[in-house]
Amino acid sequence: MDLRLTDTVVLVTGASRGLGAAMALALAAEGAYVVAAARSKDSLAEVAAQGGGRISAVEVDLRDEDSVRALVPEVLARHGRIDGLVNNAGIAPAGKFATQDPEIWKDALTVNVIAPMLLAQAAGVRMIEQGGGRIVNVASTTGLRGKPFLVPYSTSKGAVVRFTEALAAEWAGKNVQVNCIAPGAFVTDAQKAVTDSPELHAKRIAKIPAGRMADPSELVPLTCLLVSPVSAFTTGATFVVDGGESGKL
């Protein structure tokens, strides 16, 4: 299937490693021009070097509103348009709720909710001017069901799901599709403590009907489809990719 991504322009946040890097590389392989954004300059450069000239890197700190607000204008300065936005970056502070500092909550909400909102607003306005576009928000299965010791993360990712639905309804008539992906357990640096421990790894995969954790490459076909104009009638949906974990009793 031709996803009609050739020469489209897509911004991917959190693109220096893990899921974000896999998404950026896959979109570039489909012919898109990708602006890969993250805090890590060196890691971004490594991703861009693999993109066949179709990935450019830009540093951004999602905790800094000025940095976030400058991102979409930078994409437009480089390419003159923006056809897709993948809000992938996020943080997952862990700890006991009873003793958590409110600053931890502010940090999680700033990175996981406010930054995607600002980027969706800036990108979406330009997409509407262009005649359409697609926004993909990356949530988590912990945004669908609460998880102990990850209360700020779970709360913020639940907000991302509702944000996706509400914005999709508001912009559907403007040919801007807004969808959400909720990944489960993937083998990334964020899961290193689990994957490096045979005991923790065994406990983790015991919860997954598929009997394993996923590779980041297994998320990219769905991402490319949702960023593609061929999915123009799909909006306001949350796609769960978790090996059946959230669907079992």
Residues noted as catalytic? 153
Task: Report how far apart, in Å, the C-alpha atoms of 152 and of each of 14, 103, 116, 146, 157 are.
Answer: 19, 11, 16, 10, 9
Task: Report how far apart, in Å, the C-alpha atoms of 67 and of each of 17, 56, 85 are.
Answer: 20, 17, 16
What are the beta bridge partners of residue 3?
none
Contacts of 71 (CB under 8 A, 6+ apart): 11, 13, 37, 58, 60, 119, 122
C-beta of residue 225 within 8 angstroms of C-beta of residue 134: no
Comparing CA positions, the residue from 193, 198, 192, 163 lying closest to residue 178 is: 163
Cα–Cα distance between 199 and 216 in angstroms, integer?
22
Backbone CA torsion sign across 17, 20, 23, 25: negative
Q: How many other C-beta atoms can be found within 10 angstroms of the C-beta atom of residue 220?
A: 19
Cα–Cα distance between 241 and 135 in angstroms, integer?
18
